[in-house]
Amino acid sequence: MTAIEGRKSRIASNRSRGTTLDSDRRKKIKAAFTKFPATRILVIGDIIIDHFIWGSVSRISPEAPVPVVNVTGENLLLGGAANVLNNIYALGGEATLCGLIGRDIMGDHLLELIERLNSSTAGIIRSANRPTTKKTRIIAQHQQVVRFDREKTGPLQKEDLETMLTFLAENISSFQAVIVSDYNKGIVSGELMAALKKIVGKHPEIPVIVDPKPKCIERFSGATILTPNSHEAELMAGLEIRDEQSLAGAAALIQNKLKVDAILITRGEAGMALFEKGKTPFLIPTVAKEVFDVTGAGDTVIASLALARAAGLSLEEAAIVANQAAGIVVGKLGTATVTRAEILGTLR
Ligand SMILES: Nc1ncnc2c1ncn2[C@@H]1O[C@H](COP(=O)(O)OP(=O)(O)OP(=O)(O)O)[C@@H](O)[C@H]1O
Ligand SMILES: [Mg+2]
């Protein structure tokens, strides 16, 4: 039995749509929220553009047994690491994205969407070696008919990696926190993570918060905080999570293997659990009352966690904020975002 398993976990108080906090803690969170606009976060990861095509279906094609969609609308949204950026701006923070897009029309659209946020595009590399990752979903009668992806995954070309690393080395000191948003497209490679570790190593005050995919997990060793979901934590630990004890066991295994300060395991409808080195596990039930769409909840979690941490809240308080934000975002349709006012409204 590990030290963590042996300890009883604390459970945050939670009532329907609000979390009950003592007034000092609420005040502290409220004060930290005022610092969000002065907080600069660096988001490194797989940049994606989400393309939605909306329409209606009234017949099956005579050409093949497929529905014919009559297109009524189309839109482009920031996805992957760019959705984390979007969440940070909705929360009133400031962030810069570092990753790769193609020299193509979707790359132009992406830059336009990012400029609309008033976010610097200096860390975005336009590569001749791969297209902008684009996920197209056709939605008819409120139902997804098909999704198709245009992408080239795998390791970066040397020249692209070098451009990214130069940007990171030259700019790291202007950020208060780093988020790594891994969508398995190849940006978050072992090489990138090793170089990032070296660069951030000179600034121990900057936390590196990683939303990991459970592949080659050694890449994440030495990160400050990991935010896997339960399934990812199971794969990372090689242990099935059945109950609180195995949850703590998985967290301890990952912590020991990767030497990270903390793990925040997001547990869908069960909320989240924070495991901090040397502390009692902290379990937070979800505050979601109605759930419409859980897409992108993980992006909301890492964005709010990083902002709250960079604004000076303890990790436990930052997790409460992230859980509140996620509980609100799953009650909205589509890949949505959350504001500080909405979070404060649910903190009593
Ligand atoms: N079905 C649900 N009911 C209530 N709350 C939910 C639900 N799904 C997600 N949440 C909230 O959102 C948080 C993050 O969700 P989840 O654990 O699904 O992350 P994830 O799998 O990384 O999400 P993503 O699909 O964005 O990668 C949870 O910790 C919880 O607070
Ligand atoms: Mg996730």
Mean residue pLDDT across the chain = 94
3-49+78-133+151-346: CATH topology: UDP-N-acetylmuramoyl-L-alanine:D-glutamate ligase (3.40.1190)
Ligand 1 atom with minimal separation from the 230 CA: 17
Give the pLDDT score at 40: 98
Please say whether the beta carbons of 272 and 264 come within 8 A.
Answer: yes
Q: Which residue's structure tokens are 């245009």?
A: 150
Ligand nearest to the CA of 296: 1
Distance CA 69, CA 255 (A): 49
Least confident span in 11-25, 55-69, 206-220: 11-25
Distance CA 131, CA 69 (A): 27
Strands 67-80 and 47-60: antiparallel
Q: Is 266 in the pocket of ligand 1 (CB under 6 A)?
A: yes
Distance CA 292, CA 333 (A): 6
- Catalytic: 299? yes
* CA-only gyration radius of the chain, Å: 20
The residue ranges of every structural domain in the chain are 3-49+78-133+151-346
Ligand nearest to the CA of 229: 1
CA distances from 170 to 113, 122, 173, 199, 200 (A): 25, 11, 8, 9, 11
Q: What percent of the chain has pLDDT over 70?
A: 95
Count of other CB atoms within 10 angstroms of residue 98: 24
Give the pLDDT score at 22: 83
Give the pLDDT score at 13: 67
Give me ligand 1 centre to Cα 303, in Å. Answer: 14
Q: Which residue's structure tokens are 């975005």?
A: 124
Q: Is 250 in the pocket of ligand 1 (CB under 6 A)?
A: no
Give the pLDDT score at 16: 44
CA distances from 98 to 2, 120, 162, 217, 230 (A): 38, 10, 12, 21, 27
CA distances from 243 to 227, 234, 259, 327 (A): 18, 12, 24, 22
Confidence band of 21 (pLDDT split at 50, 70, 90): confident
Give the pLDDT score at 1: 39
pLDDT score of 5 more than 50? no
Least confident span in 98-112, 190-204, 211-225, 334-348: 334-348
Distance CA 277, CA 316 (A): 12
Question: Which residue has a Cα nearest atom 4 of ligand 1?
Answer: 269
Instruction: Name the residue among 310, 237, 240 with its Cα closest to residue 275.
Output: 237
pLDDT score of 241 more than 50? yes
SS (H, E, C) the chain: CCHHHHCCCEECCCECCEECCCHHHHHHHHHHHCCHHHCEEEEEECEEEEEEEEEEEEEECCCCCCEEEEEEEEEEEEEEHHHHHHHHHHCCCEEEEEEEEECCHHHHHHHHHHHHCCCCCCCEEEECCCCCEEEEEEEECCEEEEEEEECCCCCCCHHHHHHHHHHHHHHHHHCCEEEEECCCCCCCCHHHHHHHHHHHHCCCCCCEEEECCCCCHHHHCCCCEECCEHHHHHHHHCCCCCCHHHHHHHHHHHHHHHCCCEEEEECHHHCEEEEECCCCCEEECCCCCCCCCCCCHHHHHHHHHHHHHHCCCCHHHHHHHHHHHHHHHCCCCCCCCCCHHHHHHHEC
Mean pLDDT of 94-107: 98
pLDDT score of 303 more than 80? yes
pLDDT in tens, 279-301: 999 999 999 989 998 999 999 99
Mean pLDDT of 204-216: 97
Give the pLDDT score at 7: 53
Ligand 1 atom with minimal separation from the 211 CA: 22
Give the pLDDT score at 142: 85
Label residues 65-94 b or e (16+ Cβ within 10 Å = b).
Answer: eebebeeeeeebbbbbbbbbbbbbbbbbbb
Distance CA 317, CA 319 (A): 5
Q: Is 212 in the pocket of ligand 1 (CB under 6 A)?
A: no
Give me the helix-helix angle, 297-310 and 315-329, nearest 10°.
Answer: 150
